[in-house]
Amino acid sequence: MNGGPSGFNNAPVTKGIVISSALFTIFYGFQGRSHKLGLSYQDVFQNPKMWKIIVSMYAFMSTPELMFGLFLLYYFRVFERQMGSNKYSVFILFSYAVSFFLESSILALLKDPSSSITTGPYSLIFSAFVPFFFDIPVSTRFRVLGLKFSDKSFIYLAGLQLLLSSWKRSILPGICGVIAGFLYRMNIFSIRKAKLPYFLTSLFSRVSWPSTGSPSSSAGTRNTPSTGSAAPYAGRQVERNYPSPIVGSMEPSEDSISMLVSMGFDRDNARQALAQARNDINVATNILLEAHSH
C-alpha cells in the first residue's frame, strides 16, 4: 500500500508543509537550537513567544522525528487528493487549532515550568490517522513469526514510533491530534463542509517546488457537472449530479486509476468512475466515495 503515484501531484498543500517542516528542522538543527523548541507553560502564558508558537507547527526536534514525520506526511497526501486542497486546508487549520487549544489547556492545568511539549506537525499527522483507520481499507494481510499484519501495519508502526519519540512530550500532542481528527470526523459545527477559497490553496502550487510525475487535475474545488445519472458500484445504486459517460471516450490513464486504487478503491470501480467522470479524477473520487457511503 502507498499514498498513490510518486510525487505531490494534486497535493500542493502537503508539499508546502513537508518542505517547511524539513527547512525549519534543518535550520534549527544546524544552529544547535532544536532542544529549545519545546513549548512550555511560560512560552504560551507567562511570556508568549509568537515565533516559537509558529515554528512549533513545523519544526521537529530530532532527526528520527523528522524522518518518521515526513514519511507520514508524505503518505497522508492521499487525503488531500480525496478531499481537494481547499477542504484539506480546513482540515489542517482545524487540527492545529483544536490541538493547540487542548495542549494549552493541559499546560495551564499543570502550571509546571519544567513541563514542555515537543514541536512539529503532530496535530496534522495524528489527526490524519482517524480517516486512515476508518476510510483506508486493508488490501493485503500476512504473518510474521506467527503474528498477523496488514499493509496498514507499517503506517501504524511509524506513527507509534513518532508518538513515543520523546515519550511524555510527544504523547500529549499526538493524543490531542487524534482528538482533533475525531472531532473533524464528527463534523462539529459542520466543519467538513467548510473549504478555503481556491485562490488561497492554489498559491501552494505556484510557490512550491515543482512536482514530479505526470500532471493531474486541479487540487482545488471539485466542480460537479449538473447532468443527472446513476452509477452502480459494489452492488449500490447511487444517484448524483455527475456527467454521463461518453460513448467511445478516451480510456482512463493508468496514473489516474493507480491514484484511485491507492486510496483503497477497487480497480474496476475506479476505471468505471473515471469513465463516467470523463477522466476527471476529482469527480471520479466523489462518485466512489459517495457510492462507498451508501
Enumerate the domain spans of the chain. Answer: 12-198, 225-292
- CA 281, chain centre distance (Å): 18
Does position 292 have pLDDT exceeding 70, yes or no? no
Report the top-level CATH class of 225-292: mainly alpha
Three state DSSP letters for 87-150: HHHHHHHHHHHHHHHHHHHHHHHHCCCCCEECCCCHHHHHHHHHHHHHHCCCCCEEEECCEEEE
Whole-number mean pLDDT of the chain?
Answer: 80
The full DSSP string for 252-272 is: PPHHHHHHHHHTT--HHHHHH
| Grid coordinates of 147 | 503474528
Residue 139 phi/psi, 5° resolution?
-105, -30
| Grid coordinates of 18 | 513537508
What is the C-alpha separation between 9 and 50, in angstroms, rounded? Answer: 33
Question: Counting every residue, how long is the chain?
Answer: 294
Name the pLDDT band for 1 (thresholds 50, 70, 90). low
Cβ atoms 122, 99 nearer than 8 A? yes
Q: What is the pTM of this model?
A: 0.73
Report the top-level CATH class of 12-198: mainly alpha
Q: For residue 198, what are the CA distances in angstroms to 114, 145, 219, 221, 247?
A: 43, 49, 9, 6, 32
| Tens-place pLDDT, residues 191-204 | 999 988 877 776 66
Distance from the first to the final alpha carbon of the chain = 25
Contacts of 249 (CB under 8 A, 6+ apart): 275, 278, 279
Can you give the pLDDT at residue 5?
64
| Tens-place pLDDT, residues 92-108 | 999 999 999 999 999 99
Q: For residue 127, what are the CA distances in angstroms to 27, 32, 101, 181?
A: 26, 30, 14, 4
Can you give the pLDDT at residue 48?
84
For residue 183, the number of C-alpha atoms closer than 13 Å in the C-beta half-sphere is 23
| Tens-place pLDDT, residues 169-189 | 999 999 999 999 999 999 999
Can you give the pLDDT at residue 253?
82
